Amino acid sequence: MYIHTLGCQMNVYDSEMAAALLQPLGYAMTDDPASADLILLNTCAIREKAEQKAFSFLGRLANLKDKNPELIIGVGGCMAQQEGKEILRRIPFIDIIFGTRAIRRLPQMIEQVADRRCRIIDVEMADEIDPFLDTKEGCETDTTAGSGEPNGRVTRFVTIMQGCDNFCAYCVVPYVRGREQSRRAGYIIREIETLVRSGVREVTLLGQNVNSYGRKEDFCTFAELLARINDIEGLYRIRFTTSHPKDLSEDLIAAFRNLDKLCHHIHLPVQAGSDAVLKRMNRKYTREQYLRKVETLRQVCPDIAITTDIIVGFPGETEADFAATLDMIRTVAYDGLFSFKYSDRPNAPATRFSQKVPEAEQNRRLQTVQKLQEEYTLRKNRALIGTRQAILVDGFSKYQDRMDGPGNGIQWTGRTSGNKIVNFSCSGEASFCKSLLGRMIEVEIENAFPHSLRGKPVKRDNLLKGEDTYAA
């Protein structure tokens, strides 16, 4: 089976879940679509561009299907949820359309198609479908091959809730992923314990708005969940995404001080810097409120890295509104940001707003944001030169073959607590250098680039975590 995943981390998680569910049917992952007897595409609907990518991937499958009529092709995810019928109309050789809450029914669908060569659309969203099922439990086999995750097993995503109730005016998520539902803490913890047993050292907890975790269901709070996860032995690091600024609570902020495994990084999407635009976006916070939260975060955790999402060219965004966004970027001095041109989405209210910003102007604003941020990213990275950072080694560096050359040590890569990539070469004992995957080590930062840092291990006893396996 070959799985192609577009879109966000939640889709990566869902693809892994699909792979785990299909293993008992005898499907194993391959990196080569031409040799697969099952191809799944997990789609994204957040912007129009993501949809174009899906159609171009599907278009390329036509000749594989011609060569192998037994090949089963399934399309899932947000775009499948939203436009299932339209996808089938445009690409008639697809066998299965599965929506965002239909993944657990994939094995039955695939068996049915294999038996009867029928076509199936399952975009059922009903809330009684149990999101709390513990499907991944007990599955310690590697389902990451072909999922686009290069380094396998050290860091993993864990979905703690699905759906969204916020209805930001531009956003399709509440329509394609349904109402917000949290998973029970016990299931989340068991899943993480299983991952840790298989060598995972860092988890990123996923939800559209993790801060409202458990609120509807009256489970524990997100901060309490983090505290429980912090106690899991063998887990070194916890990250999470995404936190809606309006719900960023005092106790979550305090968790950055109190929980030793919680990484010093928060992704806090601001979207825009002008109150008028924030209001029309239905974000439910003002610029001042956002800035106050940033200030508190930095008081509690002075070295916290803050990243954000920005939408440029939202309907009605004036030059003055845009200037307020640039000012926001300067005031917060983000460690990094993702920026997007506003894109009309079916169902999202902003699609019906007037005063659309012309594409050429959107492009100009996007470039301005990106250029401004580059300065800050580099400045932030350079400020780390000379410091010592604890990093979790999560794989070989992509420079492995290019830098230093053979004989000059193994090129590894890892991330700082603030989520910055650090490449380094290990020139110590071979047995030590070969065994760094999944270890925490201390490096001194020697150089800074726009997208990464270069460091060197501080000394032989720089192993912060993972001694047990080294001794063995």
Q: Which residues contact 339 (CB under 8 A, 6 or more apart)?
A: 309, 310, 311, 312, 366, 369, 370, 373
Interface residue with ligand SF4 among 22, 72, 97, 168 (CB under 6 A) is 168
282, 168 in Cβ contact below 8 A? yes
313 binds ligand 5AD (CB under 6 A): no
Produce one character per residue of 254-293: b if its CB has 16 or more CB atoms within 10 Å, e if not.
ebbeebebbbbbbbbbbbbbbbebbebbebebebeebbeb
Binding span for ligand 5AD by CB under 6 A among 335-343, 373-381, 403-411, 434-442:
335-343
Residue 289 in tokens: 């409120």
Interface residue with ligand 5AD among 343, 362, 411, 416 (CB under 6 A) is 343
173 binds ligand SF4 (CB under 6 A): yes
- Of 83 and 95, the one with the shorter C-beta distance to ligand 5AD is 83
Within a 10 A sphere around the Cβ of 430, how many other Cβ atoms?
11
455 binds ligand SF4 (CB under 6 A): no
Binding span for ligand SF4 by CB under 6 A among 31-39, 69-77, 159-167, 352-360:
159-167
Q: How far apart are CB 200 and ligand SF4 at their closest, in Å?
A: 26
> Which residues inside 7-46 make contact with ligand 5AD, applying CB under 6 A?
46
160 binds ligand SF4 (CB under 6 A): no
211, 248 in Cβ contact below 8 A? yes
47 binds ligand SF4 (CB under 6 A): no
d(CA 169, CA 171): 6
Q: Cα 348 from chain centroid? A: 22
Give the one entry of ligand 5AD, ligand SF4, none that residue 3 binds, where binding means its C-beta sits below a cut-off of 5 to 8 angstroms depending on kind.
none
Alpha carbon dihedral 54, 39, 395, 468, in 10-degree steps, equals: 140
Interface residue with ligand 5AD among 13, 27, 170, 256 (CB under 6 A) is 170
Return the beta strands (E) in 313-427 as ranges: 336-341, 388-396, 410-415, 421-426
| Burial class of residue 439, CB neighbours in 10 A (0-12, 13-18, 19+) | buried
181 binds ligand 5AD (CB under 6 A): no
Interface residue with ligand 5AD among 7, 84, 174, 269 (CB under 6 A) is 269
Q: How far apart are CB 326 and ligand 5AD at their closest, in Å?
A: 16
Where do contacts with ligand SF4 occur on this chain (CB under 6 A)? 164, 166-168, 171, 173-174, 208-209, 244
